[in-house]
Amino acid sequence: MQLQFLGTGAGMPSKERNTSALALKLLEERGTIWLFDCGEATQHQILHTTIRPRKIEKIFITHLHGDHIFGLPGLLSSRSFLGGEDTLTIYGPKGLREWVQFSFEISNTHITYAIEYVEIEEGVIFEDDQFIVTAMELEHVIQCFGFRIEQKALPGELLIDKARELGVPKGPLLGKLKNGEDITLENGQVILSKEVTSPPKRGFVVTILGDTRVCENSKLLSREADIVVHEATFDHTTASHAANYGHSTNVEAAQIAKEAGSNYLILNHISARFLPSDIQTLLLEAKEIFPNSYIVNDFNQFSWKNNTLIKED
């Protein structure tokens, strides 16, 4: 799993930061990409990455402010031109479907693939045999959601030496055991999968929050998460502005991650009021509360390997 930030700014684009968009790359897990928010010019940002729009399987929209959705019609249109054929599912607040379809209608845009819209409410909004995604409302100036993405437990490793000791021959029977199936040998001996596999491995948990002031649901979504992506539009000197405008500070985000027992915190949605020279100060303030903190720039990418978050160069 990888996280790549396509836009890390707040409100409107600046020379340093584009508006909100984040790609959750699940290429190893399912061969697809999930996109969270799609601010203006997201498709242009994608041109500077290895992301292929036709690989985008799902788009999750936190809320309907322009800096989180104005890039959506263009990206959806380009996905047709770039050979996207598979169904795309878009999750978001009520009104998103109407807005996208109206944009297509008045611009006479034709999409060559199916789009499924899911107008979300609190609770589980997606589940299959690999992942479960839960949404909860946050506290912003309009309806806004945060998402908790949980990878289900992975099968344990096959203990080949132990299987061979029990008389399992090379071939498809080993594969069945690895996949959790019990088998019967030619001599009638039954081999249980649990006898020759290690315990299941815990999957990763990623929490991606939309714009929000400090609230209990942020903490609930972040509880014991491996990675929390939290906005930090303001700093502690402008905390009153943060609350009034439905946003958080770097210090407040760090406190949420700490109280939730999270492992890593990634701060984004940084106001243009902060110059590049201010970023280190913002980061140090967060680290005083939650040491495993990062502040991201556009195009930063992180990999999750061996239960460790690795920032790539």
One digit per residue, the tens of pLDDT, for the chain of length 313 reads: 999 999 999 999 999 999 999 999 999 999 999 999 999 999 999 999 999 999 999 999 999 999 999 999 999 999 998 888 899 999 999 999 999 999 999 999 999 999 999 999 999 999 999 999 999 999 999 999 999 999 999 888 888 889 888 899 988 988 888 888 899 998 989 998 988 888 888 999 999 999 999 999 999 999 999 999 999 999 988 888 888 899 999 999 999 999 999 999 999 999 999 988 999 999 999 999 999 999 999 999 999 999 999 999 7
Asked if 29 and 171 sit in the same domain, the reply is: no
Asked if 131 and 190 sit in the same domain, the reply is: no
Asked if 282 and 139 sit in the same domain, the reply is: yes
Asked if 182 and 234 sit in the same domain, the reply is: no
How many other CB atoms are found less than 10 A from the CB of residue 88? 22
CATH number of the domain bearing residue 282? 3.60.15.10
> What's the burial of 63, exposed, middle or buried (CB within 10 Å: 0-12/13-18/19+)?
buried
**Residue showing tokens 């598979």:** 86
Pair type for strands 264-268 and 293-295: parallel
Asked if 254 and 281 sit in the same domain, the reply is: yes
The one catalytic residue in 37, 67, 226, 298 is 67
Q: Which residues contact 61 (CB under 8 A, 6 or more apart)?
A: 36, 37, 38, 68, 69, 72, 90, 91, 92, 93, 96
Does 230 count as an annotated binding residue?
no
Asked if 125 and 210 sit in the same domain, the reply is: yes
Does 298 count as an annotated binding residue?
no
CA dist 57 → 50, 70, 103, 175, 228 (Å): 16, 19, 21, 29, 22
Does 241 count as an annotated binding residue?
no
Does 211 count as an annotated binding residue?
yes
CA dist 281 → 8, 236, 237, 295 (Å): 17, 11, 12, 11
Asked if 55 and 87 sit in the same domain, the reply is: yes
What integer pLDDT is reported at residue 6 of this predicted model?
98
Give the chain's domain count: 2
What integer pLDDT is reported at residue 137 of this predicted model?
98
Range of the domain at 164: 160-195
Asked if 222 and 308 sit in the same domain, the reply is: yes
Asked if 76 and 206 sit in the same domain, the reply is: yes
Backbone angles phi, psi at 20, to 5 degrees: -65, 130
Asked if 131 and 15 sit in the same domain, the reply is: yes
Q: What is the H or E stretch that residue 66 is in?
A: helix 66-69
Does 278 count as an annotated binding residue?
no
Asked if 183 and 305 sit in the same domain, the reply is: no
What one-letter code names the amino acid at 210? G
Does 63 count as an annotated binding residue?
yes
Whether 67 is a known active-site residue: answer: yes
What integer pLDDT is reported at residue 179 of this predicted model?
82
Cβ(93)–Cβ(123) below 8 Å: no
Does 48 count as an annotated binding residue?
no
Asked if 59 and 121 sit in the same domain, the reply is: yes
Single out the residue in 138, 173, 195 at which a domain terminates. 195
Q: What is the H or E stretch that residue 125 is in?
A: strand 123-127
